[in-house]
Amino acid sequence: MRAHRPAIASMLLAAALILPALILVMPLRALGDEAMRAEVATFVQPTHEARQQAMTAHLDRMGLSYRTEAFQPARPGVAEGRNIIVDLATGAPADAPVIVLSAHYDAARDRQGRFFDGVVDNAASAVILSHVASDIEARALAHPYRHRIRVIFFDHEELGLLGARHHVESAGVADVAFVLNSDVAAYGDTLMYSEHASFPQVRRAVLMACAELALTCIGYPAYPPSDDRVFTAAGVPNTSLGFQPRVAAHQLWLALNGGTDSGLRAGFVPPVFNAIHSPQDTMDAVDAETLSTARAVYGAIVRHLDQLPLAH
């Protein structure tokens, strides 16, 4: 071994010179959980326009192509809305039905009109879905999907689901088979999902993905509203997904579904309701492991939905 020390030294030197260059050009999709968390922080911006730019800059760094769907809310003083749409290369036929993944990327404001950081609600979901999108395109090279897959980052959700409403009204849902919406998925070890009796195939796909990953998942007949409500109204099978710590997830279920028999003390407020739309919605709450778990389970749900019979 001693006789090869000069050669080894040369190899180490070459690696030291090449590795930084590789890191500089390596797409974000190849980096780890902490890099995902760092990307969430880039969404903390002082204006709505800056947050819109943060969204598209993130997709540029991810190497994802997108188109913009602009709309003007019918409210004075409200900035132009921009839904950002990514049509993935899945190998599916051009007329195949679509699985939509959605998350809003706008942030709520305080009473003085200042924006909260909005990382729990909902920049984390936007970053998660961008990585799911990259994973899907990479997997499709060897294992094409049967459905087309579209990722939509909705704007102005905090003003009444305006971006989702505009999209459904302008683009329609005739080609949409399923919708998976992500909202508040920044911390916790338990997946929460909205449970619709009329969409059993979606529930089954969620449960199969949870079993595959040995993940605790809780279905909610009543669940906090998000952009999924617009698709429910349009009759599209869907679910809304989020994460919380296990105890907090059970408390939220009881608060929303337990009624007078919930066992919760009078006036109990689920912790998540104090964590969002407030100064508590900061990067301190964002957990890299949760981002990674959400990325994995969302991708698994898509795979299980993709195996269902095509509905034209």
Q: What are the pLDDT digits (tens) for 164-211?
A: 999 999 999 999 999 999 999 999 999 999 999 999 999 999 999 999
| pLDDT tens per residue, range 9-43 | 444 444 444 333 333 334 444 446 899 999 999 99
Measured CA to CA in angstroms, residue 305 lies from 252, 274, 299 at distances of 27, 34, 10
Any idea what DSSP says for residue 109? B
- The predicted pLDDT at position 32 comes to 61
pLDDT of residue 30: 43
| DSSP β-bridge partners for residue 67 | 85
Q: pTM for this one?
A: 0.89
Strands 81-87 and 67-71: antiparallel
pLDDT at 185: 98
pLDDT, tens digit, 9 for 90 and up, residues 225-283: 999 999 999 999 999 999 999 999 999 999 999 999 999 999 999 999 999 999 999 99
The per-residue pLDDT for 278 is 97
Residue 312 is predicted with a pLDDT of 61
Q: Which secondary structure element, helix H or strand E, spans residue 151, and what is its range? A: strand 148-154
- The residues, any chain, with a CB within 8 Å of residue 268's CB and separated by 6 or more, are 251, 255
Q: Which residue has the tokens 């778990």?
A: 293
Distance (Å) of CA 97 to CA 139, 239, 311: 19, 17, 7
Cα 6 to Cα 257: distance, rounded to the nearest angstrom: 70
> Residue 76 — very low, low, confident or very high, per pLDDT cuts 50/70/90?
confident
Helices (H) and strands (E) in the chain, counts: 10, 8
Rounded to whole angstroms, what are the CA distances from 264 to 73, 145, 270? 40, 45, 10
Per-residue model confidence as pLDDT tens digits over 97-144: 999 999 999 999 999 999 999 999 999 999 999 999 999 999 999 999
* Contact (Cβ atoms closer than 8 angstroms) between residue 276 and residue 252: no
27-306 — its CATH code?
Answer: 3.40.630.10
Q: Are 229 and 160 in contact (CB under 8 A)?
A: no
Give the three-state DSSP class for 259: helix
Contact (Cβ atoms closer than 8 angstroms) between residue 86 and residue 157: no
What would the two tokens of residue 63 be?
Answer: 């190497």
Nearest to 134 by CA among 60, 24, 241: 60
Q: What is the largest CA-CA distance in the chain?
A: 79
CA distances from residue 23 to 17, 20, 124, 149, 216 in whole angstroms, order as listed: 11, 5, 23, 29, 35
Cross-sheet strand order for the sheet of 238-244: 67-71, 81-87, 148-154, 98-104, 176-182, 238-244, 190-194, 217-220
d(C-alpha 161, C-alpha 49), whole Å: 18
Radius of gyration of the chain (CA): 21
User: Is the pLDDT at 6 greater than 50, yes or no?
Assistant: no
Burial classification of residue 4, based on how many CB atoms lie within 10 Å of its CB (0-12 exposed, 13-18 middle, 19 or more buried): exposed
Structure tokens at 153: 């980052």
pLDDT score recorded for residue 219: 98
pLDDT at 311: 74
pLDDT of residue 18: 39
Residue 296 tokens read as 């994995």
pLDDT of residue 12: 40
Compute the distance between CA of residue 14 and CA of residue 195 in angstroms, rounded to an integer. Answer: 55
Q: Which helix (H) or strand (E) holds 258?
A: none
Q: Are 217 and 207 in contact (CB under 8 A)?
A: yes
Sequence-distant (≥ 6) Cβ neighbours of residue 236 within 8 angstroms: 173, 176, 177, 178, 179
